[in-house]
Amino acid sequence: MQNKYLCLVLAMLGPTLAWLSPNAASAFEDVNMGTTITVEGGHIVAHWATTGFDHYNIRWSANGGRETQVERDGDKTFVYLTPYQSGVVYSISVQGCEKNFASSSKCTSWEAASCGNPRSPCAGPIPLPIKSRGGLCLDVDAPNQHVNGARVQVWTCNGSDQQLWTINGGRIVSLAGKCLDANLAEIHNNGGKIQVWDCNNSAQQNWRQEGLELRNGGGKCLDVNAPMLHQDGGIVQLWDCNHTIQQSWSQPGLL
């Protein structure tokens, strides 16, 4: 049996990861958003566990060739990657969309990093920026990015270390190794402080994606202070989840 290699890049809000499969019988374990790759009846199948969207757009390519794009209804969380090939690097991105009106949709970011090759696949997870719908990136105050309690804000996207995050297992981890954290005393309060802290698996460091929102273990959503949505240094806080633009986030892939 020929060896087969897969490089998967998932561009929804979640970790951008890649897997290497040395044989066609491999099945891959869930990671964060529940994405798995399996081989079923000679087909390569990409699965994802994220729900809450009206529909999904999926596109993929083999060895950087022509892209294939399909749409799946919200209750369909898998797609066949065809044609089945061995010794090939596949890049895939998934976009979740919510219907606003009959003729329009609001979707997560499309961008995905193309990466890896059959002998040297991507390592993962890859830290990436998290972008608000206001166009600014989630940012840790640079001089204090290694300090517990450091301020989290939005800032013009610039690719700096303090704007790179890994979303994995419900945690959002900065490149400095600190976790995105809601101040414990304010975890149930509107305006509750968002900071970075040593990762400790507490409720205040647990985040889950619901559509374009990030909901904390205390039930509040990650929110940019509305008047500061487009300002460098804009306050990032907790607030009642309300589906507003200041609570919409995406994690684009590397350019």
CATH number, domain containing residue 37: 2.60.40.10
pLDDT tens sequence for the chain (255 residues): 222 222 333 323 233 333 333 232 222 222 223 344 444 455 566 665 555 677 877 777 766 667 778 887 877 667 776 655 555 566 667 777 776 655 566 776 553 433 333 333 344 455 778 889 899 999 999 999 999 999 999 999 998 999 988 776 688 999 899 999 999 999 999 999 999 999 998 999 999 877 788 999 999 999 999 999 999 999 999 999 999 999 998 864 322
Q: Which range marks the domain in which residue 148 is found? A: 131-250
| pLDDT computed for residue 59 by the predictor | 76
Note the pLDDT of residue 90. Answer: 61
155, 223: one domain? yes
Residues 140 and 240 in one domain: yes
Distance (Å, whole) CA 253 – CA 10? 8
Is the distance from CB of 205 to CB of 171 less than 8 angstroms? yes
What is the structure's pLDDT at 241? Answer: 96
- Contact present, 18 and 117 (Cβ < 8 Å): no
Helix (H, G, I), strand (E, B) or coil at 219: coil
d(CA 245, CA 223): 9
106/141 same-domain check: no
Enumerate residues 6+ apart whose C-beta is below 8 A from 236: 138, 152, 153, 154, 194, 222, 223, 224, 225
Angstrom distance (rounded) from CA 165 to CA 144: 16
Q: How far is CA 114 from the centre of its chain?
A: 15
> How many other CB atoms are there within 10 angstroms of residue 2's CB atom?
8
Torsion of CA 7, 52, 95, 115, to 10 degrees: -20
pLDDT at 7: 31
- Same domain? For 13 and 102 the reply is yes
Claim to verify: residue 50 and residue 1 sit in the same structural domain: yes
171 is a domain residue: yes
pLDDT in the model for residue 74? 73
Q: What is the dihedral of CA 9, 13, 30, 121, to 10 degrees?
A: 20
Specify the CATH number for the domain of residue 228. 2.80.10.50
Task: Give the pLDDT score at 202.
Answer: 93
